[in-house]
């Protein structure tokens, strides 16, 4: 066990700290040159600069105090929510909140659904179950564990998308929430949200659309000519939707939104307590203190790019994904799993030692993304990966050629 760092007795000079930070990060993965297939989402240098400058301008402000102390933050947050509601075709009574990320957005949606169901049933102790495809994000299970709710994960179809029939068969009298992904993280395919919407309406259930990955890409990919199916509030069965600004919205972290079809559902997500000596405590989110910089950065980036800017980036991203898929499938015997809709994709081949391929790619400076069922390589590509495609495919070709053939696949590394 390494020796624990002790609290410093004396402070250090800023120049020394800056130099130390630079040395420390020298061993990090080279994400700026496309070597990391997740965690960081690159668009254009000027977009990064706009977000960074706005974040720095509000570095100290606390979004918890936006309504009482920082009117500019309150206005910007309201604008971000309103622009998002517009983007996702929300009705006039819709509402939402900015959150710290997809996990918080999903947790708030599950809480809102639970509390809404309790009111409808007149049962303050109701613990309804969640029915979701096996490809749905683990954040739903995290939320369910925190609230002691049962989860039913249902196998997907042969196309790796949610199977509405199988999900319907898993519903019982205690089911309260259905989930669909836009797209799912493992394979990058969009679930049949229109069919799930019909199912939710027919059974009187809450449908949450997890567009945390693709929410700020899918509408613009459609505008650029891609065949992206309807997935948002234009479908009457969609009760709530989550979308991460800090993914393909290209905004500074941490920033996401959770949106609700009506005000009553949105209010069910919040927290309200009036037993404290300091008075009533109300938040629309799970966390209290929130970085003002994230709000300002999101507002600035959305306004900087606009629909035209996002559509131009989406066009490049979809073309890049198609080129990657073609290049990967030219490396026998690799095949991409399913038919990815946006920029996430995974690939592999029976009989190939995927773990060995991943290790070989790591030895060449790439951070390998992995899937475990089936064993495969995984990428969530942004413009950071546009200029390194030839290098990636060349190294992948060499790694596949050297990989041993196996009968039983080893499971890839965890994220």
283 phi, psi to nearest 5 deg: -140, 145
**How far apart (Å, rounded) are the C-alpha atoms in residues 379 and 412?**
14
Cα dist from 147 to 108, 144, 373, whole Å: 11, 5, 28
Q: What percent of the chain has pLDDT over 90?
A: 97
- Per CATH, is 307-402 categorized as 3.90.1150.10? yes
Q: List, for residues 244-300, the tens digit of each pLDDT value.
A: 999 999 999 999 999 999 999 999 999 999 999 999 999 999 999 999 999 999 999
Which has the closest alpha carbon to 244: 380, 130, 135, 336?
380
Mean pLDDT of 217-240: 98
What value does the mean pLDDT of the chain take?
A: 96
Mean pLDDT of 91-106: 98
Write down the number of H helices and E strands in the chain: 12, 13
CATH class given for the domain over 52-303: alpha beta
Q: List, for residues 331-366, the tens digit of each pLDDT value.
A: 999 999 999 999 999 999 999 999 999 999 999 999
Residue 408: per-residue pLDDT: 56
Start-end of H helices in 256-388 = 263-269, 292-329, 354-363
Segments making up each domain of the chain, as ranges: 52-303, 307-402
Q: Check pLDDT > 60 for residue 412.
A: no
């Amino acid at each position: 066990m390494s020796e624990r760092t002790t609290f410093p007795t004396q402070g250090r000079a800023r120049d020394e700290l800056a130099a130390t930070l630079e040395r420390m990060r020298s061993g990090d993965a080279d994400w700026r040159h496309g070597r990391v297939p997740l965690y960081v989402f690159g668009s254009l240098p000027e977009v990064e600069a706009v977000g960074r400058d706005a974040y720095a301008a509000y570095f100290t402000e606390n979004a918890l105090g936006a309504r009482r102390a920082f009117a500019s933050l309150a206005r910007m947050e309201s604008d971000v929510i309103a622009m998002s509601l517009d983007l996702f075709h929300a009705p006039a009574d819709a509402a939402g909140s900015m959150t710290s990320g997809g996990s918080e957005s999903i947790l708030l949606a599950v809480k809102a659904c639970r509390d809404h169901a309790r009111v409808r049933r007149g049962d303050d102790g109701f613990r309804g179950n969640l029915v979701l495809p096996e490809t749905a994000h683990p954040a739903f299970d995290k939320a369910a564990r925190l609230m002691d709710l049962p989860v039913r994960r249902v196998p997907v179809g042969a196309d790796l998308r949610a199977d509405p029939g199988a999900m319907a068969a898993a519903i019982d009298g205690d089911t309260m929430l259905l989930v669909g992904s836009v797209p799912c993280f493992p394979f990058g395919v969009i679930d049949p949200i229109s069919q799930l919407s019909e199912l939710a309406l027919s059974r009187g259930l809450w449908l949450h659309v997890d567009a945390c990955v693709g929410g700020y890409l899918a509408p613009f990919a459609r505008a650029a000519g891609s065949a992206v199916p309807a997935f948002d509030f234009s479908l009457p069965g969609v009760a709530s939707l989550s979308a991460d600004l800090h993914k393909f919205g290209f905004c500074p972290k941490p920033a996401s939104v959770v949106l609700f079809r009506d005000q009553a559902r949105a209010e069910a997500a919040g927290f309200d307590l009036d037993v404290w000596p300091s008075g009533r405590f109300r938040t629309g989110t799970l966390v209290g203190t929130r970085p003002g910089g994230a709000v300002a950065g999101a507002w600035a980036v959305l306004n900087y790019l606009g629909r035209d800017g996002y559509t131009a980036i989406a066009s490049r991203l979809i073309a890049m994904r198609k080129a990657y898929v073609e290049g990967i499938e030219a490396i026998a015997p690799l095949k991409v799993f399913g038919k990815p809709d946006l920029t996430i994709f995974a690939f592999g081949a029976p009989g190939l030692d995927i773990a060995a391929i991943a290790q070989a790619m790591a030895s060449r400076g790439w951070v390998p993304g992995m899937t475990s069922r089936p064993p495969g390589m995984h990428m969530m590509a942004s413009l950071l990966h546009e200029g390194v495609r030839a290098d990636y495919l060349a190294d992948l070709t060499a790694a596949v050629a050297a990989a041993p053939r196996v009968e039983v696949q080893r499971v890839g590394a965890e994220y």
